[in-house]
Amino acid sequence: MESNELTIIIVTFKSEEKVINCLNSIPNEIPVIVVENSKNENFKKKIENNYTNVKCILTGENKGYSVANNLGLNLVKTKYALVLNPDTVLDNDAIKNFFVSANLEKDFWLMGPANDQTVEIEFKENTLCEVNNLKGFAIFFNISKFNNEFFDENFFLFFEEIDLCKRVKINGGKILLNKLIKIKHEGSSSVNIKETHELEKNRNWHWMWSTFYFQKKYKGFFFAILIIFPKLFSAVIKSLFYLIIFNKKKRDIYLSRLSGIFNSIAGNKSWYRPPLD
C-alpha cells in the first residue's frame, strides 16, 4: 500500500463518538488530519493520545464544512487526499482498491465509492464509471489538479460537494465512481447532540441560503429568484399557517427558511449558527 501518498481529512463538530469508529477503520500507516470545528482541547488530546497517525487541529469556532476541509486539504503533502465524514467506516480493502484504480486512471480529479450514490451506474470492465457528481461523505482528491483551490468557503452547509464537482467539470476534470471502494455511511449522523429542533432550524436556514447562492453563482441573480420563488412562497404561507394554529416548532422551521432565503438574496454571508452548548 502506498501509505506515503495518501492523507485522510475528517472534519468534526460534536462528533466524539461517531469519529472513533471511523478512525478505527483507517490503517495505522495512513496519516490523518482531524479538523475539529471548536476549541475542544480535551477532544484533541484524546484523539492524538489514542491514535499515533492522527493530528487534530482546532479551528476555535464552528467554521463549517468548507472552511474546515480547506484547512486540512491545504496541509496535505501527499499526492492524494481522502475527505471523510466522521460517520463513515472504511472497508478493509477500500484504500488498497483506491490505489489500484488511481494507477489505472492517473488523470482523475475526484473519485468516490459507488455505494450509497444516487446515480445510475454503468461500469466499465475496470470497475470505474465517469460521473458528474459525487456524494460528499467520501471523496478522494488528486491534489495536483486543484492548485490549492478546493471547496467554496461561502458555503457553510449544503451544496459544497455539488459546487466542487460542477467546477471540476467546467474545468474539464474527470470524476469517477469506483465499484471496488466500499465505505459505509450512516448518513445525517455526524453530530452527537440532543438539540434536534435547533439542528432542524439550522439545516433549513442553510439549505435555503445555499440553494439561492448556488443558483445565483451559476445562473445569475434573476434566474435564481425564479428558482427560489416557489420555496419562498411556500415558506411564507406555512409560517403564517403554523403561527395561526400555535405550532411554534413548525413555525420556527419555516421562519428559518425565510431568513435563509432573504439573507442569501440580500448578499449576506452564511452567518446563522445554532445556539448549542
Burial 107-135 (b: 16+ CB within 10 A, else e): ebbbbbbbbebeeeeeeeeebbbebebbb
Average pLDDT over residues 3-23: 91
- Asked if residue 97 lies in contact with residue 76, where contact means CB atoms within 8 angstroms, the answer is no
The predicted pLDDT at position 238 comes to: 96
User: Beta strands 138-142 and 32-36: pairing type?
Assistant: unpaired
Q: How confident is the model at residue 188 (pLDDT cuts 50, 70, 90)?
A: low
The model's pTM is: 0.91
Average pLDDT over residues 191-201: 73
The predicted pLDDT at position 114 comes to: 87
State the cell numbers at 104: 489505472
Q: How confident is the model at residue 198 (pLDDT cuts 50, 70, 90)?
A: confident
State the cell numbers at 120: 445510475
Centroid of chain to Cα 144: 20
The predicted pLDDT at position 125 comes to: 60
